[in-house]
A and B are shown apart, each in its own frame.
With several copies, the nearest count.
Chain A
């Protein structure tokens, strides 16, 4: 059975979508026409330009419309559900039992990024939103290198302490600087032959699984992550690799 999913305003299938953007054109009928054509190309119908603000040479629009597109619910891949995460005790017990040694992780805000709060939230004692950070886990050994660490320095440290995993935080994303940084890290790890023995993890507010995978990382964590999510993932991943003899 096809189950077409569309945006829902106040009734099934009405396709209602709100959008806003600025066009680099002075306000007037021409800018309005351009806006109408753009949203038509996006596949919106019954388009209402509800607000139009003259920014002198630019025009800001707020628009509502009905989205013609739809997604067939049955065609969506069975996206892996967010697994029920393990708890603090459970994770430690799991590592003790299945791995039998501490998991070693090295973390850093790389490149020119100096936003340490997110990485600290994951790595430091204190943790985040009531969840302890990795440092507090008896079965983790952690090295938090802090901010603005070059990729080379990070990998060097990983080698030095024989890390299982490298945790990278990237918060600044303007002009895709994070993509550049992260790609460079993967290439460097590959060039130095480290890639197979390292679990590469990236986090930040604009990071998700999909992007992490695309860039060649083993996992990606976004907004609202806690150390528990990361610890659980690492425990299972290290165990899996051990079992496969990797």
Chain B
């Protein structure tokens, strides 16, 4: 399916993959011994706990914080909830409401293990069933309505108000957008809870809440049926609440999630152990829910130089791939990220962009690559910006990318206005149809600039992965290997929410998913 416009050395690719696997396994071994407040809140959510206490604190936080303060989280919230369910003969939601009124979970008498297990199994079964139902609905709708041709046109809405977002998302879909991403409000990633209910007040984005997910999914279902094309929904499974958002997205039928193994560490200064542990469970849920993840390597190029640091993007793609596979994701769920971020003033820059995009395309032939538009070098010159986006659109269709984030001519000015989005869709539509089969028509010269650049990137990647493997991923990050950013191995936000699993730790949801996803033993890697 993928056009072989370049020669890519399969031995080197194999080597890179093997190095990445070793790097990922080191991390995975640590992950297997750790849980976090967010992982536990996710279990609580999947057991049916929702809503807030009188102060507006979400009930999953109420129960987990309580057990954490009692120093009992190493056993897993599932145990404490199930124990309470048995003790009080009330469902988890009522237990949580009781906690909000003062009930202490760890003060309840420990119940008969068999009955507790039974309760855990029962609520796990319900949770998985709900997720599966949404997955089946998606499968049915995609089959019945179809999706647009790749590259899929992906646009963002970010008005801050979910109801304005809906109008704009529907207008965009009607004009050809295949995927709608609701951008999250500034700094939600650092909130150690997920806000509740529909919201109308965000800055640079709209709060990710379960209610907002539902509102937008309904609006897109409506427009999908109207258009006879399944319009996909994206949000951010990232930050301090990664796995919780995965659970919300699974329940509300999101189709894609921004979800990266390292983004939180690098760009939000979140603690490493916290991030790695959270990403594992979040990915497992995404895997189970049939959600496609979008990794965030494009972000490296907003702080580091796109020409000099191209190999760091590819290396990170390999690492994200391995950590993803280990969490149960399949190749078709790995929307590995890269970006069109070379300085437009660079002579022959377009050739280097093509080299990068085509190389990644050939290395991950079965993954729905996520290609990001120019952002860093966009300026207030909206006319030139629109042309930069045109070249990006061309690069994308020429190299056969999958998930194509439309560049906005107003990138340097504001989050997109309704008209900007339509102009971008028209730009992409024109170019992608007008040059639809260009990628089948050409080959790059074996001794040319593009081929040479591709080889340099692959060589640089292998060497870079060797260096990381030598010191380990955590130290590599702490030494600024990625994105020109250094993060201390033991610092960062959310560190206090990391808990070492006890001998008696139990997470029935994770266990069930691992079983169903065929993850015989985590840390040993998944399946391609």
Contacts and interface: CB of A to CB of B under 8 A. Distances in A.
The reply to whether A and B meet directly (CB within 8 Å) is yes
Interface of A: 8-12, 16, 18, 20-22, 48-53, 55-58, 60, 62, 64, 112-114, 116-117, 148, 172-175, 177, 205, 223
B204 interface: yes
A22 B418 contact: yes
8 contacts: A9-B417, A50-B412, A55-B419, A56-B170, A114-B186, A175-B160, A177-B203, A223-B380
Interface string B180-204: 0000001100100000000000011
A55 B203 CA distance: 25
Interface string B250-283: 0000000000000000011000000000000000
Contacts of A10: 158-159, 164, 168, 414-418
Contacts of A56: 170-171, 174
Interface in B407-429: 412-419, 422-423
Contacts of B303: 116-117
Interface of B: 158-161, 164, 167-168, 170-171, 174-175, 186-187, 190, 203-204, 267-268, 302-303, 376, 379-383, 412-419, 422-423
Contact of B171 (A50, A55, A177): A55
Given A10-B159, A53-B422, A112-B203, A148 B416 contact: no
Nearest to A18: B382
A170 to B, nearest CB: 12
Contacts of A52: 380
Given A58-B171, A62-B382, A64-B413, 6 more contacts: A10-B414, A11-B164, A21-B419, A56-B170, A112-B203, A173-B414
Contact of B414 (A57, A112, A174): A174
B203 A20 contact: no
B304 to A, nearest CB: 10
Contacts of A55: 171, 174-175, 418-419, 422
A174 B204 CA distance: 6
Contacts of A58: 167, 171, 418
A64 B303 CA distance: 27
Contacts of B413: 48, 50, 64
A45 to B, nearest CB: 15
Given A10-B416, A174-B203, A51 B382 contact: yes
B186 A9 contact: no
Contacts of A12: 164
A53 B203 CA distance: 28
Given A16-B417, A51-B379, A174-B414, A117 B302 contact: yes
A173 B158 CA distance: 13
Nearest to A147: B269
Given A172-B203, A175-B203, A20 B419 contact: yes
A110 B171 CA distance: 35
B226 to A, nearest CB: 10
A70 B203 CA distance: 26
In the complex, the 5 A-B pairs of residues with the closest C-beta atoms, listed nearest first: A50-B380, A51-B380, A112-B187, A9-B417, A10-B159
Contacts of B380: 49-52, 62, 205, 223
B414 A64 contact: yes
Given A12-B164, A62-B381, A22 B415 contact: no
Given A55-B175, A56-B170, A57-B167, A148 B190 contact: yes
Nearest to B414: A174
Contacts of B174: 55-56
Contact of A60 (B187, B415, B416, B422): B422
Contacts of A21: 419
Contact of B419 (A22, A148, A177): A22
B239 to A, nearest CB: 12
Nearest to B302: A117
A223 B164 CA distance: 30
Contacts of B267: 114
A116 B203 CA distance: 17
A211 to B, nearest CB: 15
A51 B381 contact: yes
Contacts of B376: 117
Contacts of A112: 186-187, 203
B394 to A, nearest CB: 23
Contacts of B419: 9, 20-22, 55, 60
Contacts of A20: 419
B238 to A, nearest CB: 13
A10 B167 CA distance: 9
A129 to B, nearest CB: 11
Contacts of B170: 56
Contacts of B204: 172, 174, 177
Contacts of A172: 186, 203-204
Nearest to B409: A18
A127 to B, nearest CB: 14
A231 to B, nearest CB: 23
A9 B418 contact: yes
A107 B161 CA distance: 32
A10 B160 CA distance: 9
A48 B412 CA distance: 12
Q: Which of B158, B186, B380 has the most CB of A within 10 A?
A: B380
Of B376, B382, B418, B422, chain A has the most CB atoms within 10 Å of the CB of B418
A205 B412 CA distance: 8
A66 B213 CA distance: 31
A22 B422 CA distance: 11
Contacts of B168: 10
A177 B414 CA distance: 13
B374 to A, nearest CB: 15
Given A51-B379, A62-B381, A57 B203 contact: no
B381 A174 contact: no
A9 B417 CA distance: 5
Contacts of A51: 379-382
B192 to A, nearest CB: 14
B171 A57 contact: yes
A115 to B, nearest CB: 9
